[in-house]
Structure 1
Amino acid sequence: MISRSDPVMLMILLIASTFRQGLTMVSYGTDFITAFPENVGYFYPNISTRILRITALHNDTTFTVHFNGTQTPSSVLRSGQTVKLSFPKTAEVHRLNYSSNSIRITSVKDIVVHSFSQTDIGTATTPEKSVQSHVVQPITNLGTSYLIPSLNQSDLIQTFSGSPAPFWSQRYSSFKLIIINAEDTENTVKLVKGMSERFQEDLKILPYQLIQLQVNDSLKMVESSHKVAVILTHPCLEITCKCNMIVNQILPTQFQGQNFVVPYIPGITLSRLLMTSNDMSTSLSHNNIQLQPSPSGFLSLSDQTKSQYVKASGNVSLTLIRPGLIFEVMPENMFAACYLLQFYSDIKKALVIAETASKNNVHTQNSPVTDTQWTEITGTKYSSAEISFSEFTIVIWHPTSKIAVYLLEISGTTVYGGPAIPINTEPDEFDCVVIPGHYEVGNDRLSWAESLAHCTSLEQHLACPTSEDIQKKLSGKVNSTEEEAWIGLRRSLITTDWYWQRQTPSTPSLPSSSVDYVHWADGHPEENFRGLCASLSLNEKDEFKWKSAKCCEKKRPVCYKPSISFYPLPSDTTSSASFEFF
């Protein structure tokens, strides 16, 4: 339980917890549950939209939408295909108390679910929108214990706008909490209240139902007997004379870290940092200087025109915030190799942080990023860049190192964004992958040509450690023995050059590739063309070094099963469906 005695840290905790989108290692799965909170500019006549976008990560994917006692199966999706589901206004959770308005999505294979809500609140001459989007976390990322921020709406509005909050009816004067039972069993939910004297209120929630509560200063934690989804929301928070919906799916605190690259958001100044931690003694520093929070709890960086590196003394969550713009900062340990970006507005950008030495190897779809202005981040190994897109769905990935990717959207004067969706945490030299490749050593001793045929018959190819990273992965996947095994490296009789040979039944014409990285043992490759093929020592003591050998020698093959890649299909393949459930 977090102590609430320090008002400065309390404010940091409250605001950061309120707006954090939540970070996970991967955000795909086969079982999701969510709800559409109320999104309304109550003094405007408005047109509203509620959309779930479901993207399949594998071929032959079918999913089912469960809503209000009805099940609707989908057609079969291909890998990378997106379906857009529209829901009626009645799908929103308007009233307090229990409701059956939860939306559950189940699938036979991994999918990503993204939620979008928009209400037009302006006029023909001054169009404005209350917009909110967020990643729907799979049930595997949910938990049974959540810390709930004690929110004072007036203080929050004054923090952002510098002026007191207007007088509203009770309906719009505080935040709400939606608790969704994520399991097919009755769930006992405890609302832990009080500060110095704790007491609790017990609720019973039926399978996959939800309850919406008015949030007040007494509610501190939600604990449940089974997994729940917890959404903190406000239907119409007025900031600078503008109505903004707020949605935050609260997540467990294990998604924290100690080292952060705080991104510079182009065109945005006067932003602040907000830190939250279970340990009240945790501090944040930049360039070895401890950052001091203001009375309102904000932490300031000296230069807000560039990305900067900050460290925490313990595990924390870090939020970059300004009125109308909330960015959860990824801890360095949560960087990933591949991200899915899903946009909705006309102005679509990505903020990318990559290692300076390999920044030019960042890919979008299947091509390296070009014509990009990178800026080195002082005192770190990283550089940052801003990339604009025309596509509404795209992947960004790196073949050899982990990166951070944020999306940024602009709709009218509304700016919103946050971390992109992590699809894969480990780099792959060829693609953005959803199923990593793997190595296996054959049992039989064969010639090099026989080994190549053996791997091909298994829909695999001879292992090709074309970089130091791949060599390390290969070394870590095979058992150490005194033997040697064939790899996909051989010498050309025509040019005398070494080259990599990859071939599978599905890619029989995959071109050979030149050799840029080698790991030869002393005395190898042998001179005078005595060995035209290459083997790898399976002995850890020999550091898995390579040796040249005669191709007719009998050795065990090291086969590699290629990874399964993921790319979003073009936007014209996106299908739409309306769910008119009542």
Structure 2
Amino acid sequence: MFVILLFASMLSQGLTIVSYGKDFITAFPENVGYFYPYTSRSLRVTALDQDTSFTVFYNNTKITKSYLQRGSTTTVTFPKIAEVHELYYSTKSIRITSNTSIVVHSLSQRDAGTVQEKNIQTTVIQPITNLGTNYLIPSLNQLDLIQTFSGSPAPFWSQRYSSFKLIIINAEDTENTVTIVKNISASVQEEKFKIPSYQLIQIQANASVLMVKSSQKVAVILTHPCLGNTACKCNMIVNQILPTQFQGQNFVVPHIQGITQSRLLMTSNDKSTSLSNNNVQLQPSPSGFLSLSDQTISQYISASGSASLRLISPKLFIELIPENMFAACYLLQFYSDIKNALVIAETASKNNLHTQITHITNAVWTEITGTKYSSTIISIERPSTYIWHSSSKIAVYILENTGTAVYGGPAIPINDQPDEFGCVAILEQFEVGNEPLSWAESLAHCTGLQGQLACPTSEDIQMDLANMINTTEDEEAWIGLRRSLMTTDWYWQRQTPSNTSLPSSSVDYVHWDDGQPLDSFMGLCASLSLDQEDEFKWKSANCCEKKRPVCYKPLVYLNPLYPVDPVNIP
């Protein structure tokens, strides 16, 4: 009977310090079989900024364009034909582009009409900025997995889908050369493919596949359409693999209530890399799985080199968040009625945890022996929410329950910098425009970008500006300082995105260049040098002169999340 529950639901989500961006590419793997009628596919898109416009492309064709406001979420659904079931080349990639930062979450679901046969798979779609050219592939074999947890060989019918699959998507608008590195009979072999722009290739991936390398950025998805169970049931898994630069060395392996059997699977470029718990080295099985010393508690695991680590059990397949990639704020997207978040935080600051605008004060924490961390489980009511910590970095995992199985994975990291006032969706930023404009045109330009002309009203802000733009260009750029025609006094003028003037503020801090400002009505506006050797000093200038603007966009806090009307793709 144990095999009936094996992989009743498996999920693995990608993770990085931040998972938002403006450009994404993905695909829907096959769920069960291409002939299976009761499956659904969708993307959830969440906006992190105001006036967000995003476009979805499928089969290299624009199929929809939608608009969102900050914190709102919409769902885009796709037909069955969008699933990638065929091997080798396909044009069934899905691209999402946006004018501002968004988060994209993918759902694939099978529902045969009964609770026992319901299967949900979700994954965080990584922005193209997080993709790479080198990927290590977990050494996974379906028969090994079943035998590991059942203790007996898998029945014949489970070989219907005998191997996992890799979907490799070209993320660039140019031809991409992809190399598959395999270990066959103790010999390293390579197989090369050329993938046209924004297209994909799907290949079988047994335990012999070691690595995927490419000439340009690619997205790599590990998937299995039908991990077999008894009673002719099967379930898929989806794992967007991260490039090698997102590995770590220290991991907190969470204890998940109700999970009594689990194994670790490590992937590392260095064959000599080992895992240890309390200075005791973990010994891998012939299939590469490592056993935990205690299945009933959370544990701190260290790797001797850079590695990725996955927690595998009869019901879960979770990519673990390395300690160096803990974040301060996470977005959570749920799909089931029973919704929980598993949080790992520093014990000394565990009471500084919040969900949206609520300070969590009644959580029951369990200290993780031998570490500075504690963990807790929080019940969540909303289908979309966020959890943030005001003073330190945390790890957050999503746990859901369909009634017969628990599934889960890492939440979506939004920001790695703690903030006492909330979940920061977008950090403050200074940007130098590309086009020379007059001072008045520069003010309008920055307002149109949901910002304002930079106003370095203190030495700290001036230093932040200098550090962010960090240029050595021999030219000047406009800032939001100008002179009154009535009094000739200098003042800061700012404009909101709704074209409302903010109250003018007095000038208490200045950073004028030698001999500045000029005592002349021909220099009623202020610019700064873009050369760091000139210490970004200020000068007065004619407001009609053409200079590039320095725009400032304030930090943005994530508002409570509300869904908007879904978009259906015919």
Q: TM-score, normalised by structure 2?
A: 0.74
The residue aligned with 1:112 is 103
- 2:32 counterpart letter in structure 1: V
Q: 1:39 aligns with which of 3, 27, 31?
A: 31
Q: CA deviation at 1:394?
A: 0.6
The residue aligned with 1:84 is 75
Q: CA deviation at 1:32?
A: 0.7
* Aligned pairs (5 A) from 1:382-393: 382-393=373-384
Q: 1:302 to 1:172 in 2, by over 3 A?
A: closer
Choose 428-437 or 164-173, whichever is displaced more.
Answer: 164-173
Q: CA deviation at 1:562?
A: 5.3
- 1:424 counterpart letter in structure 2: N
The residue aligned with 2:303 is 312
Q: 1:331 to 1:240 in 2, by over 3 A?
A: farther
Contact kept in structure 2, 1:135 and 1:421, CA below 8 Å? yes
Gaps of 5+ in 2: 1-6, 431-451, 471-494, 504-551
Choose 350-359 or 270-279, whichever is displaced more.
Answer: 270-279
The residue aligned with 2:226 is 236
**Counterpart Cα distance in 2 of 1:220 and 1:386:** 36
* Aligned pairs (5 A) from 1:548-559: none
**1:154 is paired with a residue of what secondary structure?**
helix
Q: 1:165 aligns with which of 154, 158, 161?
A: 154
Q: CA deviation at 1:204?
A: 2.0
Q: 1:426 to 1:169 in 2, by over 3 A?
A: closer
**2:143 is paired with a residue of what secondary structure?**
helix
Q: 1:375 to 1:94 in 2, by over 3 A?
A: same
The residue aligned with 2:565 is 575
The residue aligned with 2:556 is 564
Q: 1:262 aligns with which of 250, 253, 275?
A: 253
The residue aligned with 1:191 is 180
The residue aligned with 1:8 is none
The residue aligned with 2:538 is none
**Counterpart Cα distance in 1 of 2:317 and 2:459:** 44
The residue aligned with 2:443 is none
* Aligned pairs (5 A) from 1:82-231: 82-121=73-112, 124=114, 127-149=116-138, 151-168=140-157, 172-195=161-184, 196-216=186-206, 218-231=208-221
**Counterpart Cα distance in 2 of 1:403 and 1:227:** 29
**Counterpart Cα distance in 1 of 2:376 and 2:459:** 32
Contact kept in structure 2, 1:46 and 1:120, CA below 8 Å? no
**1:76 is paired with a residue of what secondary structure?**
strand
The residue aligned with 2:358 is 367
Q: CA deviation at 1:41?
A: 6.0
Q: 1:401 aligns with which of 371, 383, 392?
A: 392
**Counterpart Cα distance in 2 of 1:205 and 1:171:** 28
**Counterpart Cα distance in 2 of 1:375 and 1:565:** 30
Q: CA deviation at 1:175?
A: 1.8
**2:393 is paired with a residue of what secondary structure?**
coil
Q: CA deviation at 1:48?
A: 1.2
Q: CA deviation at 1:375?
A: 1.5
**1:115 is paired with a residue of what secondary structure?**
strand
Contact kept in structure 2, 1:434 and 1:564, CA below 8 Å? yes
Gaps of 5+ in 1: 1-14, 440-456, 480-503, 510-559
**Counterpart Cα distance in 1 of 2:180 and 2:234:** 30
The residue aligned with 1:551 is none
The residue aligned with 2:323 is 332
The residue aligned with 1:415 is 406
Q: CA deviation at 1:292?
A: 2.8
Q: CA deviation at 1:150?
A: 5.0
Q: Map Cα deviations across residues 261-295 of structure 1 (whole Å, 9 max, x no partner).
A: 22111222222233232222222222232233344
Q: CA deviation at 1:167?
A: 3.0
**1:299 is paired with a residue of what secondary structure?**
strand
Contact kept in structure 2, 1:22 and 1:255, CA below 8 Å? no
Q: 1:188 to 1:260 in 2, by over 3 A?
A: closer
- 2:378 counterpart letter in structure 1: I
**Counterpart Cα distance in 2 of 1:273 and 1:218:** 19
The residue aligned with 2:268 is 277
Choose 201-210 or 400-409, whichever is displaced more.
Answer: 201-210
**1:127 is paired with a residue of what secondary structure?**
helix
Q: CA deviation at 1:120?
A: 1.6
Give the number of aligned pairs.
Answer: 465
Q: CA deviation at 1:178?
A: 1.4
Q: Map Cα deviations across residues 131-161 of structure 1 (whole Å, 9 max, x no partner).
A: 2110111111112222334543322322233
The residue aligned with 2:15 is 23
**2:398 is paired with a residue of what secondary structure?**
strand
Q: Map Cα deviations across residues 47-90 of structure 1 (whole Å, 9 max, x no partner).
A: 21101001111011111111124213423210111110110001
**Counterpart Cα distance in 2 of 1:222 and 1:354:** 34
Q: 1:437 to 1:213 in 2, by over 3 A?
A: closer
Q: CA deviation at 1:561?
A: 8.2
**Counterpart Cα distance in 2 of 1:366 and 1:462:** 30
Provide the alpha-carbon RMSD of the alignment.
Answer: 3.5
**Counterpart Cα distance in 1 of 2:370 and 2:320:** 18
Choose 157-166 or 134-143, whichever is displaced more.
Answer: 157-166
The residue aligned with 1:354 is 345
Q: CA deviation at 1:248?
A: 1.6
Contact kept in structure 2, 1:161 and 1:239, CA below 8 Å? no
- 1:275 counterpart letter in structure 2: M
The residue aligned with 1:298 is 289
Contact kept in structure 1, 2:260 and 2:296, CA below 8 Å? yes
Q: Map Cα deviations across residues 165-210 of structure 1 (whole Å, 9 max, x no partner).
A: 3335986222222111111111222233444444433322211111
The residue aligned with 1:53 is 44
**Counterpart Cα distance in 1 of 2:224 and 2:53:** 33
Q: CA deviation at 1:508?
A: 10
Contact kept in structure 2, 1:269 and 1:305, CA below 8 Å? yes
The residue aligned with 2:444 is none
Q: 1:240 to 1:268 in 2, by over 3 A?
A: farther
Q: TM-score, normalised by structure 1?
A: 0.72
**Counterpart Cα distance in 2 of 1:382 and 1:24:** 20
**Counterpart Cα distance in 2 of 1:275 and 1:192:** 18
**Counterpart Cα distance in 1 of 2:454 and 2:415:** 23
- 1:405 counterpart letter in structure 2: V
Contact kept in structure 2, 1:161 and 1:240, CA below 8 Å? no
State whether structure 2 residue 312 is matched by structure 1 residue 321. Answer: yes
**Counterpart Cα distance in 1 of 2:459 and 2:367:** 33
Identity of aligned residues (%): 66
**Counterpart Cα distance in 1 of 2:501 and 2:395:** 32
- 1:213 counterpart letter in structure 2: I
Q: CA deviation at 1:360?
A: 1.2
Contact kept in structure 1, 2:261 and 2:314, CA below 8 Å? no
**Counterpart Cα distance in 2 of 1:377 and 1:103:** 41
- 1:32 counterpart letter in structure 2: F
**Counterpart Cα distance in 2 of 1:321 and 1:464:** 52
Contact kept in structure 1, 2:11 and 2:316, CA below 8 Å? no
Q: Map Cα deviations across residues 217-272 of structure 1 (whole Å, 9 max, x no partner).
A: 55433222211112121111114654110112222122222222221112222222
The residue aligned with 1:518 is none
Q: CA deviation at 1:211?
A: 1.6
**1:254 is paired with a residue of what secondary structure?**
helix
Q: CA deviation at 1:319?
A: 2.1
State whether structure 2 residue 280 is matched by structure 1 residue 289. Answer: yes
Q: 1:575 to 1:98 in 2, by over 3 A?
A: same
Contact kept in structure 2, 1:264 and 1:305, CA below 8 Å? yes
Q: 1:116 to 1:330 in 2, by over 3 A?
A: same
